[in-house]
Amino acid sequence: MMISSPCVVSLVWRLEDAQGQLIDELPEPMEFFVGGDDLLAKVEEALVGQGPGFSADLNLEPEEAFGDYKAELVFFETRDIFPAEVDVGMQFEGPPEGSTTPDLPPDVLYTVTEVYDTHVVLDGNHPLAGVALRLSMKVEGVRAATPEEIEQGSVAESVFTLAPNQAPPGSVLH
């Protein structure tokens, strides 16, 4: 079966930054929905029309991946609105309760990047925002999508479904 929208592909890959530093690796095949929200547009473009065994090395500029880094998505909040155990790396969906910053976008996942006695720094950028990426991928399999997958536009929560201003749970990319 050739890859076309909609279908499901099984991929293995290695993701690095432009300097060759490993960011994520999928040594075992993982399924992704083609034609929905599971893959970045440039990745889908490379896959469509291909079949099992296809491999590619893609260079993804920030605007093709997780967007440019936006300094305006970094905020300082008073320490007292956070739980006592707040720590670097913790994430909050939307502004934390009691936020004193009026312009905190509500639909962003914020990552705590620094904790001080009087304030906490929240970053609404994706951890890979502003980073050029290298993706080496190989198609291990292709199958028809189920009606449920077509309806939800995904096989599951994807590594690439995050908006450029969101940070992923789990590994760097999920």
For residue 115, give the 3-state DSSP assignment. Answer: strand
CATH of 7-66+130-152, one of 3.40.50.10860, 2.40.170.20, 3.10.50.40, 3.40.50.970: 3.10.50.40
pLDDT at res. 87: 95
Give the span between the Cα atoms of 76 and 23, in whole angstroms.
28
What ranges do the domains of the chain cover?
Answer: 7-66+130-152, 71-123
Sheet holding 55-60, edge to edge: 22-34, 7-17, 133-143, 55-60
Helix residue ranges, H only, the chain: 41-47, 147-152
CATH 1.10.10.10 fits 71-123, yes or no: no
pLDDT at res. 78: 93
pLDDT at res. 157: 52
pLDDT at res. 124: 95
pLDDT at res. 172: 33
Per-residue model confidence as pLDDT tens for the chain (174 residues)? 999 999 999 999 999 999 999 999 999 999 999 999 899 999 999 999 999 999 999 999 999 999 999 999 999 999 999 999 999 999 989 888 888 888 788 889 999 999 999 999 999 999 999 999 999 999 999 999 999 999 999 997 544 444 444 433 333 333
Give the span between the Cα atoms of 142 and 171, in whole angstroms.
25
Give the span between the Cα atoms of 75 and 110, in whole angstroms.
9
Rounded to two decimals, what is the model's pTM?
0.75
Structural tokens at position 45: 């473009």
